[in-house]
């Protein structure tokens, strides 16, 4: 399995970190892109803007051998091309600026370009907005992307599994992301009814 994962400047970068950890635990090849503002939010919310340091400090992985990190302004990387076959892309979290640029077809950085490639190549594109509340322009952009084939998966955690801590809440969203990417997960079992 091969995926593209992006982290943008919205709050909630832990969703992106947990998605990355779980993809790597499945031994997936992951092409990671972090926006400039995403690095700032990583530093604020996780204590560092260096993804390798964050992964090491969290000590959840025995190996990061499938991880490929690309700079956000480098268009000469595989995710920028439609000929680069992969199983899907997730932008976690996805800032409203990125939503707007992708909806308008503006590929001004590698994240927006890779998302545009997913749409034109009909590959899964999962967008995880965390913004609230939403105004009409946000909703219009989200609807436009949904109509174009993207999956809009808000960072809205589930409570029916009686989460014991913040990581369990985060993992309820990550489980849905992995499900929509077609990646096996055991973070949260499917609902079996009450």
Check which CATH number belongs to the domain holding 119 and give it: 3.40.50.1950
Angstrom distance (rounded) from CA 120 to CA 31: 19
Above 90 in pLDDT, residue 62? Answer: no
* Closest to 99 (Cα-Cα) out of 193, 1, 187, 9: 9
Averaged confidence pLDDT in the chain? 95
Band (pLDDT 50/70/90 cuts) for residue 132 is very high
Q: Annotated binding residue at 10?
A: yes
Handedness of CA 67, 47, 58, 173 (dihedral sign): negative
Whether 85 is covered by a domain: the verdict is: yes
Above 90 in pLDDT, residue 112? Answer: yes
Residue 106: CA atoms inside 13 Å, Cβ hemisphere, count? 9
26: three-class secondary structure by DSSP: coil
| C-alpha dist (Å) from residue 137 to 101, 104, 133 | 12, 12, 12
Q: Which domain holds residue 7?
A: 2-181
Angstrom distance (rounded) from CA 172 to CA 188: 6
Going across the sheet that includes 151-152, the strands are 67-71, 29-34, 2-7, 89-91, 125-127, 151-152
Asked which of 46-60, 74-88, 177-191 is least confident by mean pLDDT, the reply is 46-60
8: three-class secondary structure by DSSP: coil
Q: Annotated binding residue at 176?
A: yes
The total number of structural domains in the chain stands at 1
Q: Are 117 and 82 in contact (CB under 8 A)?
A: yes
* Closest to 150 (Cα-Cα) out of 172, 183, 175, 181: 181
The confidence score (pLDDT) of residue 54 equals 87
Q: Annotated binding residue at 113?
A: no
Whether 188 is covered by a domain: the verdict is: no
Above 90 in pLDDT, residue 59? Answer: no
Q: Annotated binding residue at 11?
A: yes
Whether 190 is covered by a domain: the verdict is: no
The tokens describing 19, both together, are 């998605």
Whether 48 is covered by a domain: the verdict is: yes
Q: Annotated binding residue at 130?
A: yes
Angstrom distance (rounded) from CA 13 to CA 7: 7
Band (pLDDT 50/70/90 cuts) for residue 175 is very high
Whether 193 is covered by a domain: the verdict is: no
């Amino acid at each position: 399995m091969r995926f593209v994962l992006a982290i943008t400047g919205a709050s909630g970068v832990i969703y992106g970190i947990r998605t990355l950890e779980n993809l790597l635990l499945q031994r997936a090849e992951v092409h990671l892109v972090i926006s400039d503002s995403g690095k700032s939010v990583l530093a604020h919310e996780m204590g560092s803007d260096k993804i390798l340091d964050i992964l090491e400090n969290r000590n959840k992985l025995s190996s990061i051998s499938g991880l490929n990190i690309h700079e956000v302004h480098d268009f000469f990387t595989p995710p920028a091309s439609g000929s680069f076959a992969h199983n899907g892309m997730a932008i976690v979290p996805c800032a409203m600026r990125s939503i707007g640029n992708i909806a308008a077809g503006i590929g001004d950085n590698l994240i927006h370009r890779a998302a545009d490639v997913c749409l034109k190549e009909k590959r899964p594109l999962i967008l995880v907005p965390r913004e609230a509340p939403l105004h009409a322009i946000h909703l219009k952009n989200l609807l436009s992307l949904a109509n174009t084939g993207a999956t809009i998966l808000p960072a809205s955690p589930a409570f029916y599994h009686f989460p014991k801590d913040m990581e369990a809440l985060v993992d309820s969203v990550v489980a849905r992301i992995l499900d929509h990417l077609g990646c096996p997960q055991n973070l949260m079992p499917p609902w079996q009814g009450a």
